[in-house]
Amino acid sequence: MIESYFCPRVVVRLRAGPEFGVLEAFLAYLHLRGHSRATVQRYVREAEVLLRSLRRQRRPIRSLTEVDVRRFACRRRRRQHPRSDCRAALRHLIRHLRERGLIPPKQPSFPAHIERIVAAFDAHLRDVAGLASATRLYRRRYAGDFIRSVFGTKPIHWARVRPTHVHAFLAEYGRTGRVAAARVAAVSLRSFFRWLQFNGLGDKHLSAAVPCFRQWRHATLPSVLSDSQYRAFLVTFDRTSTSGRRDYALAVCMGDLGLRVAEVAALMIDDVDETATTLRIAAGKTRRGRILPMTKRVSQGILGYLRRDRPRSADQHLFLRHHTPAGTGVSRELIRGVVRRAFAKVAGCEQHTGTHILRHTAATRLHRAGADIKRVADILGHRSIDTAASYAKVNLDRLFAVALPWPTAGEVQP
């Protein structure tokens, strides 16, 4: 089978390596999943480079872990263009090796006794606090890391936790310059200690021992794309292909309407009202649903995709995958990869990797077009008008209109 995917020269090279048996089985796994020929070639190539790296380190395949994959993918990304192929390929490799029993099953993030506490804390965040899954992910991680840093594998006795443990845990982030991570860790620990107090565990003063990281509101400007950069960004999508037109529709939903990546991934067919040209956004992070009018560009992108390009599928998500596994809803990771690769093609945007800059761009363009801050907040789904106030600082034309003129030398009175 390998001869049908690679030229004779590459086949000879692969057969000469000690990893050939693993690579051949991995290729058969990808073939059965229905991946395209080009995708199989890229994925096998990434697997070959990783396995060769393990051989140079004199490490057996059985020692391969997700941590190794993450570090390897980061090194590859620094050397190449931003792309998700490497990490996606190695995720499939890890899954395939586990199915064959060549590497051990995935270990839980924390020991069992810590995992039980973290699971109970997560249930409280989900069922009582009503937090979004992404927020709960961070709070689970930092709560578990803190417990492990204090007790390790020993039994947990909450009475032994002291403020010095809290300060030492957060100080580790300061030593490595990860101030933003320290801020998120502090919020997570404060939430965890309040949950312990709610359940009658631990010192009731522990939450007060968590330091506050001062973050002045509106101290910085949000990163936005200029009008020319945004136009160049939209031009990067190949609108001659079905997946390219889908990606274009995804992009204008974020760049014109300011949708979050999770909101785009969660859109359903029934959310599109073709007659009224509106789009219903389900309640998400802020638990506030809203109905938005579609701009001409958004309407053309979505309706054109629905009529011509959307694969036939029982899945009711608006945007679907066009490749393996075809017919299923797109994930947030897929959308982030689409946007990241488009940014890499726009001059001055190569450093951008997240999707939130499109949300900032949409808010800024709305404000420049004459929408007041209240309307911008309503469109973005902000619960507080203060959250959207920072976009007023980016509108330099309006700031020039309200700013007082600088006095010249002859106008200043002694």
* Angstrom distance (rounded) from CA 174 to CA 22: 42
The rounded distance, in Å, linking the Cα atoms of 258 and 319 is 17
Q: Which of 187, 172, 171 minimizes the C-alpha distance to 139?
A: 187
What's the CA gap between 391 and 399, in Å, rounded? 11
DSSP 307: I
The verdict on whether omega for the bond into residue 104 sits within 30 degrees of 0, i.e. cis, is no
Residues annotated as part of the active site: 260, 285, 356, 359, 382, 391
Give the Å distances, CA to CA, from 314 to 245, 260, 310, 374.
21, 25, 12, 39
Those residues whose C-beta lies under 8 Å from the C-beta of residue 140, and which sit 6 or more positions away, are 118, 121, 122, 125
Largest CA distance in the chain: 90
Q: Return the beta strands (E) in 84-174 as ranges.
A: none
Q: Looking at residue 320, what DSSP letter applies?
A: B
- 322 sits in the region (left: phi over 0; alpha: psi -120 to 50; else beta) called alpha
State residue 278 phi and psi, 5-degree precision: -125, 160
Angle between helix 37-56 and 20-33 (nearest 10): 150
Contacts 24+ apart (CB under 8 A), 331-340: 331/265, 332/261, 332/262, 332/265, 333/84, 335/250, 335/261, 335/264, 335/265, 336/261, 337/83, 337/84, 338/247, 338/250, 338/251, 339/251, 339/254, 340/82, 340/83, 340/84
Q: Where are the alpha helices (DSSP H) in 258-382?
A: 261-265, 296-304, 332-343, 356-368, 373-380
Q: What is the H or E stretch that residue 15 is in?
A: helix 8-16
Please state, in angstroms and rounded to a whole number, the distance separating the CA atoms of residues 84 and 225.
23
